[in-house]
Amino acid sequence: MSYILEQKQLDEIEQILNKDLIDLGVHSVILIDMAGNIVVDQNSGGSDHDIYSLAALAAGNYGAMNAMANIVGEDEFSLLFHKGEKANIHFSKVLSDYLLVTIFGKEVSLGFLRLKVAEVITKIGDLLPAQ
Amino acid sequence: MAFVNLKKKEVQAKIVYYGPGRGGKTSNLEFIYNRIRHKMKNEMVTIKTHGDRTLFFDFLPLNIGTIKGYSIRTQLYTVPGQVKYDATRRLVLRGVDGIVFVADSMTVRREKNIASLKNLEENLAAYQKDLYKIPIVMQYNKRDLGQKGVPLLSFAEMEKDLNSKLKAPRFGASAMTGHDVVATLKKAIQITMISLKRTLM
């Protein structure tokens, strides 16, 4: 279903993403819905990624991973993470219809990032409309 | 699943080009992309097989200007048309707001058009969406091939096969020459926006 978010909700989500993830050293964080729309995007200032294409591909990739999980008898794969030389991408589901995409470098450990992402998901889950 | 961002005053909506394999869905998007690429910062995204067939989807974000102070951003997708890629087709349909059904006018593709429309109905039902309620535009593509002697279905035959119950807006078009490609898209955006206004107000 279509949905609307007001300035207050979006400001609060941005604030949480900045404080808990960007300040931690994450390059870029994008909150998208499963249709591939961008809800909020924040970055540390140094990245100029094509976030619209990234959002479309992330939503498709997540959907494909879930479909694969179902084929092998899992509800979903809980860790979705791609490792590169300079940049890594971590995906995490928020409620049932949103996805948090985090791009980070070597300076952030995956374990600590997962911990912070779990906290962020609890906080922003309260601010997002359930579909 | 359109999203209205009141902070940025932006509406994002998803339009999917659906239809049988080799019907011209990717060619539609390529034509549009070539018309606007000089204004775009980003490139069109395509996920293809080695044989140049769409494997997952093509993606083209399109900023079409403002309506009543809101910036309208439509995300255009195609699905893979080949029968075997049904799972990926269904994934691309998630959150769809409007559809362009690209049917192949060649006589030999008649059954494939009908099967693809039926498949669209089934895949929409997986998301609790009704083919008869979602904004949809019919495009009867490859009309230019008639001049080259290729046997084509008549407009009336295609209407009877595909649009007799739907009664959707329809265009005879050619994605290769560009004839009515933009008109098809404009109509799809228009009816999608009207439908969104109705559901959100």
Q: Does A11 touch chain B (CB under 8 A)?
A: yes
Token pair, residue B190, equals: 């228009």
In the predicted model, is pLDDT for residue B55 greater than 90? no
Contact of B82 with B53, CB cutoff 8 Å: yes
Q: Look up the CATH superfamily of A7-125.
A: Dynein light chain 2a, cytoplasmic (3.30.450.30)
Cα separation, B145 vs B148, whole angstroms: 5
Lowest mean pLDDT of B10-24, B31-45, B47-61, name the range: B47-61
- Ramachandran region, residue B198 (left: φ > 0; alpha: ψ -120 to 50; beta: rest): alpha
Instruction: Name the residue with tokens 């390059």.
Output: A27
pLDDT of residue A87: 94
Distance CA B173, CA B143 (A): 6
Query: B8 to chain A: nearest residue by CA?
Result: A7
Instruction: Sketch the domain layout of chain B as residue ranges.
Output: 7-200
CATH topology of domain B7-200: Rossmann fold (3.40.50)
Across the interface, of B5, B41, B95, the residue whose CB is closest to A35 is B95
The band of B8, judged by pLDDT with boundaries at 50, 70 and 90, is: very high
For residue A118, what are its two tokens?
Answer: 């779990």
Q: Which residue has the tokens 């910036």?
A: B71
* Chain A partners within 8 Å of B75 (Cβ): 35-37, 52, 56
Give the number of other Cβ atoms within 10 Å of residue B12's Cβ.
27
Give me the pLDDT at residue A11, please: 97
Interface contact flag, A53 B42, Cβ < 8 Å? yes
**A69 at the B interface (CB within 8 A)?**
no
pLDDT mean over B51-68: 88
Q: How far is Cα A90 from Cα B199, in angstroms, rounded to an integer?
A: 34
| Predicted confidence pLDDT, tens digits, chain A (131 residues) | 789 999 999 999 999 999 999 999 999 999 999 999 999 999 998 778 899 999 999 999 999 999 899 999 999 887 799 999 999 999 999 998 999 999 999 999 999 999 999 999 999 999 998 86
pLDDT digit string, tens, across residues B107-126: 999 999 999 999 999 999 99
Where are the domains positioned within chain A? 7-125
Q: Which two structure tokens, joined as six digits, stand for B191?
A: 């009816």
Place B50 in a pLDDT band, splitting at 50, 70 and 90: low
Give the chain A residue nearest B79 (alpha carbons).
Answer: A60
What interface predicted TM-score (ipTM) does this complex get? 0.86
Is 90 exceeded by the pLDDT of residue B199?
A: no
Nearest CA in chain A to B2: A2
B20 or B67, which is more confident: B20
- Summarize pLDDT for B122-165 with one digit per residue, the tens: 999 999 999 999 999 999 999 999 999 999 999 999 999 999 99
Q: Is the pLDDT of residue B53 over 90?
A: no
pTM of the model: 0.93
pLDDT for B35: 94
pLDDT of residue B51 exceeding 80, the answer is no
Amino acid at site B117 = L
Strand extents, DSSP E, B7-109: 10-18, 45-48, 54-67, 70-78, 98-104
A7/B contact by beta carbon, under 8 A: yes
